[in-house]
Chain A
């Protein structure tokens, strides 16, 4: 990746964080840290054409699909959709307000959203169904599913992990936002997931572990996925709340927002990042 390109993507990531933060503060609600932790993933996925999904084809059923299984991380998706003009910029101002398209968790009333999420543990199974349909139709479409790591405590996720390799769904890419935090505590304090990579490998997946905020490494990882003949799982090592020191890696901030006196300080930090 060229330096110009990298710089451009970093600027996009910064802008996304700013949009996310402003949107949540304007609404007085929103899961900011879970959104921040996957901003670089979203940046590479949607802005480097990893996923065949854009303004021209987002209403079509014949394209790559993206499922935000960790639905509470939707502010990033909304910010991306707004930036790509898939939704009107004004909609961000209406987030979580009465009558708004944009609820605290995404649903398919929004063109381009491929799965109603919010209740965890559904997305990978739905993604497996879409992938199976694509295999039956013999098309080349891929399905990308972003899961939270806390979400991987749900049994239904493991049912899907078992299902996909059996049906050779190499057109399914699971991505785990491994920020090590659930809603109120670290995942390893409640229902431990480690050794996560080994567990998923043993289910028959090809598993790659990568730094989740390193745009260059994320990009080179995504470029590899076409080579595999089994489903791929990318575990992104991330920091919940990445971008705001106040929120980083802290169980306190799952859906808390800073008080108004901290607003300007946070805004400044995001602008300078």
Chain B
């Protein structure tokens, strides 16, 4: 049987490759992180792909300097290191000056679960969503990731694109909007998911068809009218994320509920606000912490 599974990084770096062919101002920086797609960029565009070394702070400052000089910059590394090590550089050298620097971070959620808590990407949304000018993209499949990268590039403003390590097929939504898409629309029970959790929700939707999935993939300056129109009809909304409860992508819906005096019930299924010590693969965590079958069945 043909394997239709795609890799997030392969798809994204292929998109970067296409862009670099056309746009000579694009520069890619990495903190000594590898990827098959990146190797191809090194070969073809040697001068414009720079391994800065294991120095994330300098990498972000250099990205800022390149961008203010007219370059479009992609920065690649593992999410937890890129964000936490160099948060101030991201804030001051990139966001404050609203520069076209696109942070491609791999390791969203528990992609690196077995590598321990220093590699988990479960707290970063909490600290990046507070930064003005930064758009966060959290795609749930590799094709969408490539499309969002292209969008970010055209936008010419700071962006943070979170990639999972899981290989997956491209998902086909029943309705697409600019910051979310829907699977099995028109149900009154809604699952608000993002990234890997959308993949889980879609898997269970094949069995339990009694809910709509709203797959959120962009957090930035989008207006909320569209999503509000769907939430107005909702009876129950489950926020379902592989992030800490203190670092959710979708908790803006509490404000929507309050502003519009909506009546739906909100439940949250996420990781507790605690570090996950030792080796914690995502299969282990999701089976240990929640019985997924019951969650979706009883929705």
Contact = CB atoms under 8 A, between A and B. Distances in A.
A237 interface: no
Interface string A119-136: 101101111111111101
A132 B57 contact: no
Interface stretch (B64-72, B230-238, B281-289): B64-72
B57 A125 contact: yes
Interface in B37-65: 47-48, 50, 52-53, 55, 57-58, 60-65
A136 B57 contact: no
Contact of B92 (A122, A136, A159): A122
Interface in A144-190: 155-156, 159-160, 162-163, 167
A165 to B, nearest CB: 12
Contacts of A107: 96
Contact of B61 (A108, A128, A136, A167): A128
Contacts of B88: 119, 122
Contacts of B65: 125-133
Interface in A88-135: 107-108, 114-116, 119, 121-122, 124-134
A115 B64 CA distance: 9
Contacts of B52: 163
A127 B96 CA distance: 16
A116 B62 contact: no
A264 B65 CA distance: 43
Given A130-B66, A136-B27, A156 B58 contact: yes
A111 B62 CA distance: 21
Interface string A19-60: 000000000000000000000000000000000000000000
B155 to A, nearest CB: 20
B196 to A, nearest CB: 32
Nearest to A121: B57
A127 B63 CA distance: 10
A272 interface: no
A61 interface: yes
A156 B67 CA distance: 19
Interface of A: 61, 107-108, 114-116, 119, 121-122, 124-134, 136-137, 155-156, 159-160, 162-163, 167
Interface of B: 27, 47-48, 50, 52-53, 55, 57-58, 60-71, 88-89, 92-93, 96-97
B62 A129 contact: yes
A68 to B, nearest CB: 14
A121 to B, nearest CB: 7
Contacts of B62: 125-126, 128-129, 132, 160, 163
A124 B48 CA distance: 20
A133 B57 contact: no
A129 B64 CA distance: 7
Nearest to B96: A116
Given A116-B92, A128-B61, A162-B58, 11 more contacts: A108-B96, A126-B65, A126-B68, A128-B65, A130-B65, A130-B68, A132-B66, A156-B55, A159-B53, A163-B58, A167-B50
3 closest A-B pairs by beta carbon, nearest first, are A129-B65, A125-B61, A133-B69
Nearest to B91: A119
A129 B69 contact: yes
Contacts of B50: 132, 167
Nearest to A132: B66
B89 A136 contact: no
A122 B61 contact: yes
B68 A114 contact: yes
Q: Which residue, B47, B61, B67, B88, has most C-beta atoms of chain A within 10 A?
A: B61
